[in-house]
Structure 1
């Protein structure tokens, strides 16, 4: 990941090196920019709630998934709250838990999980 000034957006942005096709050799920092004090804006506005079976609670905790913002024990299971930008950011992670995870919200992620499960069923 590269933190740099984006001429197109006229702002500091994060860039994936693997996605770069061209690099201009123009180095410098905006006048008041200090990398040591830089904190990227948190634009993760979608809340995702997932219920896990109690018997995998430790595994979920150990996953230390960076989108997790809260975890709570409930009678019906271990609830995890995540904050993401796009549902695609958590789709594969949720699918990886198989039937031990149930998406409580949002409905759009429930639908995406259902669609993926149907695609898997058609293959087998």
Structure 2
């Protein structure tokens, strides 16, 4: 998996990240709403505790390496067929992953705090 992530980031033209700004924002916002409402609806229908219903969605926001792996696969397939789309997808997902790993991790921590799942010793560190 590390090799695939390195292969995704190594040839990345960092201008693509800035060029995909609007699409990156749309992707991040759409992903947030999907996680937020999906977790709320799912936990409501499964009769999960109130803290799960209210805060689970915030803990799901950080990007995982899996999305980068799938992006790497999509880029490798599209490189021969539509290289401009491959670069576009690569820039959008890479930018979203960087942004989500910075901001979403802090939001996830807050979600755990709001749910009362972190003890006082962990919160202060």
Higher helix share: 2
TM-score greater than 0.5 by the shorter chain:
no
- TM-score, reference length from structure 2: 0.22
TM-score normalised by L of structure 1: 0.22
- The structure with the larger Rg is 1
- The structure in which a higher percent of residues are strand is 1
